[in-house]
């Protein structure tokens, strides 16, 4: 079964408050998204990457990616799930079979090949698929609107969801279509699969696979990338 990646890169990074979407900010000398794409393309099992880019995006063409990179462009949408849906739709026209799809945030440039390998191994025969995540380490509180603590949540079975999120192309397309039709907003692919009645598997990933969201995250990502080379 072939393996493809889909990279949603059509957000505008409002929480980063920078002069451009965060995926185009410089990180150790090259744009964040270039790190992300390199990590996916250089993996021997990944056949190609579909990137969902915003319709009016002046930054994408400045990347000047090498011609021989198997990167294909789809149009982003107003929600992340719309961007992913468009990219999956494009991929379906590109392949005859029902490949595995790894959906991975453009804003996660520190993904390790060992994490991809663990996912591919653990989920190889899985009828549903799954996602990378990290077990919660901190004590978790539920609070009310006035920030008064209502309860301490048992963290034993709590994980932070990351990406890649790996599913069969047909299932994921159907699941996203269902959430779009129902106008049910989902923030990751697993939520769409859960909504459609599937039970994705959680695969433990490395904690340095952070999503660049706030300004301080860039500094942390630079540290992680430098350390990984050691
Ligand atoms: N994304 C996308 N299309 C959207 C919204 C988000 O492709 N309509 C992508 C982002 O580019 C990012 C990933 O989904 O790579 C994760 O989303 P998030 O971290 O929320 O990025 P932004 O939406 O850009 O940031 P913010 O929420 O701070 O505005
Ligand atoms: Mg967002």
For the chain, the domains span 3-133+161-228
Identify whether the C-beta of residue 126 lies closer than 8 Å to the C-beta of residue 201. yes
State how far the Cα of 194 lies from the Cα of 175, in Å rounded to an integer: 8
pLDDT digits (tens, 9 = 90+) for 23-45: 999 999 999 999 999 999 999 99
Residue 11 has pLDDT above 90, yes or no: yes
pTM above 0.90, yes or no: yes
Ligand at shortest distance from the CA of 86: 1
80 Cα–ligand 2 center, Å = 7
Q: What value does the mean pLDDT of the chain take?
A: 97
Per-residue pLDDT at 199 exceeds 80: yes
pLDDT at 205 over 70: yes
pLDDT band at 103 (very low <50, low <70, confident <90, very high): very high
Mutation pick for ligand 1 pocket among 9, 11, 76 (CB with most ligand atoms within 8 Å):
11
Q: Report which ligand 1 atom has the smallest distance to the Cα of 15.
A: 28
Instruction: Compute the distance between CA of residue 59 and CA of residue 17 in angstroms, rounded to an integer.
Output: 17
- Minimum-distance ligand 1 atom for the alpha carbon of 16: 28
What's the CA angle centered on 83, arms 169 and 1, to 5 degrees?
Answer: 20
Q: Does residue 99 line the site of ligand 1, with CB under 6 A?
A: no
Give one word for 145, left, alpha or beta, with left for phi > 0 and alpha for psi -120 to 50.
alpha
- For domain 3-133+161-228, give the fold: Spore Coat Polysaccharide Biosynthesis Protein SpsA; Chain A (3.90.550)
CA distance 228 to 112: 9
Find out whether the beta carbon of 84 lies less than 6 Å from any atom of ligand 1.
no
* Ligand 1 site, residue 12, Cβ cutoff 6 A: yes
Ligand 1 neighbourhood includes 91 CB (under 6 angstroms): no
pLDDT tens per residue across span 84-97: 999 999 999 999 89
Residue 8, ligand 1, Cβ within 6 A = yes
* CB of 203 shorter than 6 A to ligand 1: no
pLDDT above 80 (res 149): yes
Give the per-residue pLDDT at 96. 87
Cβ 213 under 6 angstroms from ligand 1: yes
Residues 51-76 have a mean pLDDT of 97
**What's the complex ipTM?**
0.99
Residue 229, pLDDT > 80, answer no
pLDDT the model gives residue 230: 59
Residue-wise pLDDT tens digits, 181-198: 999 999 999 999 999 999
Tell whether omega for the bond before 164 is within 30 degrees of 0, i.e. cis: yes
Q: How close is the Cα of 149 to the center of ligand 1, in Å? A: 30
C-alpha closest to that of 215 among 11, 2, 63, 15: 15
The reply to whether ligand 1 has any atom less than 6 angstroms from the CB of 10 is yes
Residue 48 has pLDDT above 70, yes or no: yes
pLDDT of the residue at 28: 97
* Residue 107 CA to its chain's centroid (Å): 8
């Amino acid at each position: 079964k072939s393996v493809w990646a889909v990279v949603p890169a059509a957000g505008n990074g409002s929480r980063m408050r920078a002069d451009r979407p965060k995926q185009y900010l410089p990180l150790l000398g090259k744009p964040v998204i270039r790190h992300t794409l390199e990590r996916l393309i250089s993996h021997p099992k990944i056949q190609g990457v579909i990137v969902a880019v915003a319709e009016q995006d002046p930054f994408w063409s400045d990347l000047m990616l090498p011609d021989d990179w198997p990167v294909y462009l789809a149009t982003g949408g107003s929600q992340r799930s719309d961007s992913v849906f468009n990219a999956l739709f494009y991929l379906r026209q590109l392949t005859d079979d029902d490949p595995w799809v790894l959906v991975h945030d453009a804003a996660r440039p520190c993904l390790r090949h060992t994490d991809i390998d663990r996912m591919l191994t653990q989920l190889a025969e899985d009828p549903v698929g799954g996602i990378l995540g990290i077990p919660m380490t901190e004590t978790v509180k539920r609070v009310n609107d006035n920030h008064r603590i209502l309860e301490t949540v048992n963290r034993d079975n709590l994980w932070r969801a990351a990406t890649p999120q790996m599913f069969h192309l047909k299932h994921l397309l159907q699941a996203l279509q269902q959430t779009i039709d129902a106008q049910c907003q989902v923030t990751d692919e697993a939520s769409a699969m859960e909504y459609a009645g599937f039970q994705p598997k959680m695969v433990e990933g490395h904690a340095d696979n952070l999503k660049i969201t706030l300004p301080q995250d860039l500094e942390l990502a630079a540290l992680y990338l430098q350390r990984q080379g050691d």
